[in-house]
Structures are given as C-alpha cells and as structure tokens.
C-alpha cells in the first residue's frame, strides 16, 4: 500500500518507500495527515477500505504509528480519494489498535490541512468540505480568515442511545450503571464524580488505568449492534463524564492506555444523544465540551432523526486545529525496524504487534 518514492522529491536516495505527512492537532489531540505516498486502499467504499486495513494489511498502521516514526499519543489520518460523489475528500483515522470509522478531532485536522495547504481551495469567510468516512459523510464548515481556518464546525451523522442505565460489573467498584451511545463508534459513559474523579490533568494516569478496565468490561458485558452497519458491534471506549451547568467535561481513554487530549468529537456526539434522550438538553442549545487539558469544543443537538428503528439526533461540533509541521517518513532498506516496534514502558502491556 506504500507507494514508491516519486521522482523529484528531495529525500534520501536509499529510501525505498516514503509517505508525506502534515502534522496537526485539534484542541491538543495530535492528528497527523498523510498527504502523499499512499495511492489508495483496496475497496469500493470507505467501509470496505476500513475492513481491509483492519483485517488484511496493517503494515501502513505499523509504519506510521509505531516507533521510531510514531508514538502512542497520536492518530495518523489516511487522506484518500472519496468513494461518494458528494464528497470532496475521504479519510480513515489509524490508531494503535487499528483503523477507526470516524473521529471528530481528526476530521477537524483533516479539513484544516486540506485548506491551509491548498489541497482544496479556501474561500473566505466560509468553506464547506464534505468528508467521506467509513461511518458516513461528514460536512465540515470552516470559518476562514487571512488563509487560516479559525474554526471547523462538523455536521455529524446521526447519534443515538443504545442503552440507558445498563449494569456494568467492574472489579473493585461493584455494579455501575452506564449509558451506552453511538456517536461514530460506541461509548460507555462513566460518571466521573461517582468514581472519585474531576477529569483534570493530575488524574490522567489513574483515569487511564480504571478506564482501560472499564472499556474491556463494557466490550465483554454490553451487547451493541448498529441498525445499519453490522461491523459496528462492540463498545470501543469508556468515556468519563462530568457536568457543571452548560459545561460538560469528557475524559476519553484511548488504546493502548492514554487520555484523549481533546474533548473527543465522537464521544461528545454520543453524550449529546444521551442528554437529549434524558430530556436535559434541547435542540439548539449550545454547550461547552471540555477536555482533560481544558480545551474546548462547542456542541449542540441540531435535530431529530432515525437510524433504522432507533430514535437519533444530529449534532454539530465546533473546534480549532493547527498545523505544526510538514515532513516525510521513509524506509531505508537496511533498517531492521521497517514496520516499527513498541515497548510496554509507553505502549502498555496489551498492545498487539
């Protein structure tokens, strides 16, 4: 899947493969974007491409994410030709456990990179970019000024509640009641304060340790099944939740054991679906969604819809992304670690290599 080094690119002559990368982050969460060197991924749809990366060939994930070229605290987004005629571009987020169907923070990074590097034309004061993802089309509205994307608003696909107050057995904590919702993937929502947390930076290690156990328990104990996409059939994340008036705080624990630096876009969408279902958030009311480092997404429910037989809501999330670097990743044919390596000191003991 890695293309040969192209003629004219000033890179080491010994490199046999390379990809070009733009480094970006959205509200603190690193979302690098592969802008060159990957021609395409097999599959007629984004979901088929997702399945290929998940089940057939993980070499691109290992090459871009694992050491020495990557680290645990990041996502790499594959920028691909769209498979849907209504889309301007397509992307798939890669994380250490594999490809993911959608990510709000990474969609903000991708839209910002597309526009600020000139890959797509920027119009001021507003540019619309439609992104093709394995979870569906996402409409990104970028507010632009003087060549900069000052913010990106995502008109997300429908989010819905799968379970309210579902029992979860967690060793050391007995039976917890958790809400489970889909916002691009499935989340189990954990009441942070009942578990003794405020979701602040000094709690990161303890949140990760408990959240990883809660995520595994939720995946084992709580059945989920997306009404129209059969492969979305497990709880992927445990999301710690707190609230103070119209400000919510999210702490998302990401494999192999780290905290999302952003407020988590898909997690925020799932949480809005739960809040709307419980009658505590009405459509059109904007709230702040804050992260463990206090970065902010603005979020609101924009309407009601259905996914199959399930009641669902549409949501809008707004945040900011910044480019911090442009560089190439390459393979020297004599390098014994061409697809990278991991160690338990930073990657944890459960990473699959």
Residues recognised as catalytic: 103
Distance, CA of 73 to CA of 347 (rounded, Å): 9
Positive or negative, the CA dihedral 200, 205, 210, 216 is: positive
Q: Cβ contacts of residue 98 below 8 Å, gap of 6+?
A: 53, 54, 58, 61
Q: Can you say whether the dihedral through the CA atoms of 69, 134, 307, 223 is positive or negative? A: negative
Number of Cβ within a 10 Å radius of residue 344: 11
Residue 328 exposed, middle or buried by CB count within 10 Å (0-12, 13-18, 19+): middle
d(CA 208, CA 161): 24
Give CA–CA dist 133/82, Å, rounded: 9
Helices (H), 229-330: 265-277
Task: Compute CA 350 distance to the chain's CA centroid, rounded to the nearest angstrom.
Answer: 20
Angle, to 10 degrees, between the axis of helix 104-116 and the axis of helix 265-277?
Answer: 130
- Determine contact, residues 306/190, Cβ cutoff 8 Å: no
């Amino acid at each position: 899947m890695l293309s040969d080094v192209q003629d004219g690119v000033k890179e080491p002559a010994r490199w046999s493969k390379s990809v070009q990368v733009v480094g970006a982050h959205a509200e603190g969460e690193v979302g690098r974007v592969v802008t060159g060197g990957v021609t395409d991924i097999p599959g007629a749809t984004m979901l088929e491409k997702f399945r290929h990366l998940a089940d057939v060939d993980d070499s691109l994930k290992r090459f871009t994410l694992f050491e020495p070229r990557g680290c645990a605290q990041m996502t790499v987004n594959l920028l691909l030709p769209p498979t849907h005629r209504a889309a301007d571009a397509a992307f798939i987020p890669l994380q250490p456990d594999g490809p993911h169907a959608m990510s709000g923070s990474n969609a903000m990074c991708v839209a910002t990179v597309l526009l600020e590097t000139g890959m797509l034309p920027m119009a001021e004061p507003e540019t619309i970019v439609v992104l093709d993802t394995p979870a569906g089309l996402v409409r990104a509205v970028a507010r632009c000024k003087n060549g900069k994307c000052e913010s990106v608003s995502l008109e997300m696909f429908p989010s819905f509640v799968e379970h309210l107050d579902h029992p979860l057995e967690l060793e050391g904590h007995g039976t917890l009641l958790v809400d489970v919702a889909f916002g691009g993937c499935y989340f189990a929502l954990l009441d942070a304060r009942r578990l003794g947390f405020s979701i602040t930076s000094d709690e990161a290690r303890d949140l990760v340790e408990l959240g990883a156990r809660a995520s595994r328990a939720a995946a084992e104990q709580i059945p989920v099944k997306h009404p129209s996409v059969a492969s979305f059939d497990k709880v992927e994340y445990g999301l710690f939740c707190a609230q103070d008036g119209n400000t919510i705080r999210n702490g998302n624990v990401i494999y192999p054991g780290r905290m999302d630096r952003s407020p988590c876009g898909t997690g925020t969408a799932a949480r809005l679906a739960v809040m709307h279902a419980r009658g505590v958030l009405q459509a059109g009311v904007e709230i702040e969604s804050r992260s463990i480092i206090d970065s902010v997404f603005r979020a609101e429910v924009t309407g009601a819809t259905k996914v199959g037989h399930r009641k669902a809501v549409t949501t809008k999330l707004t945040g900011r992304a910044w480019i911090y670097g442009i560089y190439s990743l390459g393979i020297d044919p004599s390098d014994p670690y061409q697809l990278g390596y991991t160690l338990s000191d930073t990657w944890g003991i459960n990473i699959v290599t």
